[in-house]
Structure 1
Amino acid sequence: MKRREFLFGTTAAATAAAIIPNLWSCKKDEECPTPESQAHFNYLEVSGTHHDIGKQIGTRFSKEIIASRMAISKLVNDAKEIVQAAPEIFYDPFLEASQNHFPDYIDELHGIADGSGISFQDIMIGNMAIEILFLASKLGNNNKYSLPSSYGCSSTAYSKNGKMFLTHNEDLFTSFLSYMYLLKIKVTGKPEILTLSYPGLLPGIPPGMNEAGIVQCGNDIQGLHVEPSVPMAFLFRSVLDSTSIDDAVDRAKFPHRARTMTHNIGSFNENKIVSVEAAPTKNQSHNVDGFYVHTNHFILPEMLDIVLNPLGLPSSESRFNKLTAMSGEYADKPNDVNGDLITSFMASHEGELPPCVHDHDTASTLSHSVFDFQEKNWKLYYSNPCLNNSKIINLI
């Protein structure tokens, strides 16, 4: 291994919040550990069983895991409070579904818990916090829990005349820029994986690729329909274990899901890009031909009747329209299209909430990715694409 009774607005809720200490191992008046500074994403190679790799990740990045959770303590404390009040509604069903369908990934989380010194339950809550909060909103018939408008990713794909690119801006909490890491994962009998990862979460939510030539990035969709089933993190992790584009798409369409999401998947070896919009009730896929833009709302015809949170990610349509307009100017100019051109679209600062986000309402573009299907590589930018801090990574 290389270094590199549910509570809706009651006084009990306030009391519970008051007695919950800092959730991720930092006690009151105790200073959280400071992760190492970095010029690009810290890197780690791990191998072994699923529990082994989780433990190696948890051990190496324990400071990052603890510090990142402290940075978003309001969110994780809200989720913990809800679980403590009614675990049979907000924890047990998610855990049971995950254990039944993806026991290997539960083992990974046990490993992360063992390595980091954080309880498994707290690690599991971190991997399903959004599902917990959105289910609480659904059952409470309110929109109490929704993410700020600038918390949304943007993707632009292109497939024409032998040229293929899948690009992505990964946007979330600004504080996470110092805590994310790049992992090379080898589990016996499964494809080797190279992926960005959020601290303490299953690898695969940010962009990644594997040695079978599968690449993936995703767009969060804040659908109002939430089921107590498999959380999003497990499904993104599953796609990274796929061995072909058909296998990856099947995994992305997995029916036992808790909430809505979009997987943008490509295959270097099969020269194909497919976008899968998925909800607990149905899904639809689209084979990319020409330019294809996706942000944080459904756009495929069969998915337009899925009810989304109107307060969630209002910048999605703005970013979608901007990227569609910019790419549309090159729809009939295939000779001019390349990865740098698409990166210039993703680096746009035009509009109140543009594709390239700089610490707006505590959110930023944390990374930019360009998967080049001809070169079979990944150009990974640290932070905003406009800053041009990139490395080219090869896996296959």
Structure 2
Amino acid sequence: MNAPVPQPFPFVAVSGTPFERGQQYGKAVPDRVKRSIGLYAGTLDELGLTADEKARLIGQFAREISAFGQHYLDEMRGIADGAGVALDDIILVNARTEIVAEARRLKNRPEAEDDAVDGCTGAIILPERSATGRLIHGQNWDWRAECAETAIVLRVSREDGPDFMTFVEAGGLARCGMNAAGIAITANYLESERDYKQSGIPLVLIRRKVLEQRHYAMALRIVAATPKACSNNMMVSTAEGWGIDFECAPDEVFPLYPDNGLIVHANHWLSPVALAKLKDVGLLGDSFYRDKRVAQLLGGGKISPDDLKAAFFDDFATPFAVCRPVLPNSAGDLSATVAMIIMDPVAGSMDVAPLPAHCRDFTRYSLKDAPVTLARAAE
């Protein structure tokens, strides 16, 4: 199958009350919002959920989201209004990991697990290893190739906290990103035998709440203390020059700290404490070398943002590489490295390339300025 023609991700800037922000968001990219909905509503249809089952399941998550923060539900309501879609569909996009997993459980369909895993290879480079003297935080996001046509970069101006910017699937409240307080977050897939045995806050909302924090300590507390339904890896850094990787089980977190000024993580558990206490049931063969490849390519000297981009472009063992081209998975869907995201929290900028295995064109998005097209990354 041919790869989609990569286009820069749309930039959406919003302000005002949560509902007003959501409404502006939905009006700006209604087609992308509808495509996001279609991806996950289609999965529920394939699993055979009835309309009543879908409504009950989404209603359960709506109540949990409202309890976590009513303004999140208000913002989702605004997105729905602006895009001309149902609120339930926006809730689905924001809790898609948890809702789809619960739907599989309800229909006793574990074999329907999607192998276009929400993967990623992430890295944090501390200032002492950075050629710019500033912290660098980035990731490759591996997921459904169609998301190259659903994702956006969203900038939110707030009166009740720091402004923030997030790379996110249209209709979602956050994925990875940074805020004006210099706090940045990326996340990648992990799995354990503890998953989906308790209720928890959708991962999207946890990441969003991190981006709302003024203080790094509070951002770390959100990651560590918020109950989750499933495992996930969250890397949280600060422009002040520090980063921590949290391997999160639903009920426990296992921090990993920088080694020689660097953290690199893929999609398998690394913490010795975690490995002694739980079972990794989501092993991806390529995960075992992706993090090592990136660390090796970065070397032992000073690292620039271009060096991190070059490491993230690594095509060793392609198609199952750090930078994955578009390819069909076993279900016949398309998977790929959807985007490469490189953040400079001090500068408040984010360089993003769509489908980087097929495109080396980056757009720089900013917390303050309009997007600009960068020179093509070297082959």
CA distance in 1, matches of 2:45, 2:250: 26
Corresponding position of 1:10? none
Which structure's relative contact order is higher, taking Cα pairs within 8 Å and 6+ residues apart? 2
Name the structure 2 match of 1:277: 247
Alignment correspondent of 1:19: none
| TM-score, L = length of structure 2 | 0.83
Task: Give the counterpart of 2:68 among 79, 101, 117.
Answer: 101
Share of identical aligned residues, percent? 20
Residue 123 of structure 2: aligned partner: 156
> Which residue number in structure 2 is paired with residue 67 of structure 1?
35
Choose from 174, 185, 209 the match for 1:216: 185
| 1:119 is aligned to 2:119 | no
Is the 2:44–2:100 contact (alpha carbons within 8 Å) kept by the matching residues of 1?
no
Q: By how many angstroms is 1:140 displaced?
A: 6.7
Measured in 1, the distance between the counterparts of 2:65 and 2:41 equals 24
Corresponding residue number in structure 2 for 1:395: 367
Residue deviations 1:146-198 (CA, integer Å, cap 9, x gap): 22156411112222626232121122211121222111111221111112120
Q: Counterparts of 2:54 and 2:23 in 1: how far apart (Å)?
A: 29
Q: 1:179 to 1:86 in 2, by over 3 A?
A: closer
- Given that 1:148 and 1:313 are in contact with CA atoms closer than 8 Å, whether structure 2 keeps it comes out as no
Partner of 1:179: 150
Structure 2 counterpart SS, 1:371: strand
- Tell me the equivalent position of 1:254: 225
The structure 1 residue matched to 2:205, chosen from 217, 234, 250, is 234
Shift of 1:246: 0.9
Change (3 A) 1:74 1:314: farther
Does 2:15 match 1:44?
no
Q: Which amino acid in structure 1 is aligned with residue 309 of structure 2? A: T
**Does the C-alpha gap of structure 1 residues 151 and 376 become closer, same or farther in structure 2, counting only changes over 3 Å?**
closer
Q: Equivalent residue of 2:268, what SS?
A: coil
Q: How many residues align?
A: 350
Q: Which has more radius of gyration?
A: 1
Preserved CA contact (<8 Å) 2:47 2:107:
no
* Separation in structure 2 between the aligned mates of residue 238 and residue 326 of structure 1, nearest angstrom: 33
Query: How far apart in 2 are the matches of 1:86 and 1:345?
Result: 42
Q: What runs of 5+ residues in structure 2 fail to find an aligned partner?
A: 329-333, 369-379
1:135 to 2:102 alignment: yes
AA matched with 2:244: V
**8 A contact 1:93–1:228 mirrored in 2:** no
**Residues 1:382 and 2:354 are matched in the alignment:** yes
Per-residue deviation, 1:388? 2.4
- TM-score (norm. length: structure 1): 0.80
CA RMSD of aligned residues (A): 2.7
Q: Hey, what does 1:349 align to over in structure 2?
A: 315
- In the alignment, structure 1 residue 169 sits paired with structure 2 residue 137: no
- Report how far residue 238 of structure 1 moved: 0.7
Q: 1:246 to 1:200 in 2, by over 3 A?
A: same
- SS of match in other structure, 1:320: helix
Structure 1 residue ranges without an equivalent (≥5): 1-36
| DSSP-derived class of the 2:77 partner | helix
Residue 222 to residue 138, structure 1, CA distance change in 2 (3 Å): farther
Determine the C-alpha separation between the residues in 2 that align with 1:95 and 1:308. Answer: 30
Retained in 2: the 8 A contact 1:216–1:263? yes
Regions of 4+ moved over 4 Å: 136-142, 373-376
1:58-107 per-position Cα deviation (integer Å, ceiling 9, x unaligned): 1121111113333555314247816733765x344432222111211111
| Structure 1 residues 222-281: Cα deviation after superposition (integer angstroms, max 9, x where no partner) | 34411332111111111110112211111112332222111111111x211111222221
